[in-house]
Amino acid sequence: MKHLILPLALAVAASAVAEDEWVSVGANRTVAPAQPETLPPSSSSSVTPSATLAQPAAESDDGNDLLSELLFQVEQMQQEIAMLRSQVETQDKQLRTMKQEQRARYLDLDRRVASLVRQPAAQKPATDTPAVAATSQVPAADAYKAAMTLVREKKFVEANQAFADFVTHYPDDALAANAWYWNGEVYLVQSKLPEAEKAFAQVVEHHSDHQKAPDATYKLGVTLHKQGKTEQARSWLNKVIESYTGKADSTVRLAQSYLEKMPAGR
């Protein structure tokens, strides 16, 4: 029996030693440098180089789009500014033209009136205050010049009488329309509106082809408006625009301007 126990004890001891050596070897392996592990691909950690480069590229495209839009807006603003500048220049040119025409018109009028004053003394009436003779012996031109001299001297009452005498004695003369027109202007200066209306109406009704017809039509509208006859005034001012556009543009512009300044409904 002792012979059997001894060999069994030796066998158990040998088995225990072998087990200890295996554990020791396993422990040494755990502290050895670890081999790099291959991680399985996952949705959260799988970032490829192409995906990394795609983000800056997208940001670059957004920047280019913004720059293009800004450049387009700047170009639009430049075009609008150029268009506005062109409109301003056109209006400025029209305004200068209107001023030049108006100035030329009144300078011409002043020149003609001044020329009447600078007549030789022999052709003037003997009295200090020129007057239209009540006889047909006085030439029509001299009678008209004498009346215009009274206007120049601002002797309006005498001028009205001189023009009235002229159209009475020379109704068919070429200067009759001018006499009626200036008679109306002198009445208008004195605020004698009904008399001015009648004088301008004479030109409009009986001398419609005369060069003074556009001005007389315009002044008739103005005179009617000053008397509170608004609808009639609008009608005559519109007639100036309809009848004399392209023929007497300066007078047409005066009528348009007057219409624009007239209060609505009055």
* Per-residue model confidence (pLDDT) at position 113: 60
Mean pLDDT, residues 236-257 taken together: 95
* Per-residue model confidence (pLDDT) at position 86: 83
Please determine, for residue 147, whether its predicted confidence score (pLDDT) is greater than 70.
Answer: yes
Q: Quote the CA–CA distance of 201 and 186 in Å, as a whole number.
A: 14
| DSSP of 111-149 | HHHHHHHT--GGGS-SSSS----SSTTS-HHHHHHHHHH
Enter the tokens of residue 194: 């009904």
Q: Quote the CA–CA distance of 194 and 172 in Å, as a whole number.
A: 24
| DSSP of 163-209 | HHHHHHH-TTSTTHHHHHHHHHHHHHHTT-HHHHHHHHHHHHHH-TT
The Cβ-side half-sphere exposure at 67, using a 13 Å CA radius, reads 6
pTM of the full structure: 0.51
* Per-residue model confidence (pLDDT) at position 242: 96
Please determine, for residue 12, whether its predicted confidence score (pLDDT) is greater than 80.
Answer: no
CA 80, distance to chain mean position in Å, is 13
Please determine, for residue 25, whether its predicted confidence score (pLDDT) is greater than 50.
Answer: no
The Cβ-side half-sphere exposure at 197, using a 13 Å CA radius, reads 15
Which is more confident, 214 or 48? 214
Domains present along the chain, CATH in parentheses: 121-261 (1.25.40.10)
3-class secondary structure, 38:
coil
3-state helix, strand, coil in the chain (%, to 5): 75, 0, 25
Please determine, for residue 231, whether its predicted confidence score (pLDDT) is greater than 50.
Answer: yes
Contact at 8 Å (CB) between 134 and 162? no
High-pLDDT (> 70) share of the chain, %: 62
Average pLDDT over the chain reads 76
* Per-residue model confidence (pLDDT) at position 125: 47
